[in-house]
Amino acid sequence: MLVKVISPRRLPPPWRADERDECFIIRDANGLPLAYVYYNDEPGRRSAVSKLLNRDEARRIAANIAKLPSLLRSARSGEGMMAAAEERNEVA
């Protein structure tokens, strides 16, 4: 008899963003790479290929991707929606 154990989460949190040469790698808790965000900070080269992000833009995107599990968890529990409503002064 073959029993398959299914993990409740395939990409367990926390996720982290590790910086490498010209990219940030977002990894899950097991070290599995989930996303790569590339950048280039060489001024002359960046102007030739204007679609590349600079380091700061790539870092911010990578950090936001790494926050997704906690944002989803808070949204499921209602905390995220409640905080957003409070910011808009919709909660009495």
Q: Hey, where are the domains in the chain?
A: 16-87
- 13 against 88, higher pLDDT: 13
Which band of pLDDT confidence, cut at 50, 70 and 90, is reported for residue 92? Answer: very low
pTM: 0.67
Mean pLDDT of 5-30: 87
Q: Which strands make up the sheet holding 16-20, listed edge to edge?
A: 16-20, 23-27, 33-38
Q: How far is 62 from 64, CA to CA, in rounded Å?
A: 5
- In tens, the pLDDT along 26-79 reads 999 999 999 999 998 877 665 555 678 999 999 999 999 999 999 888 888 876
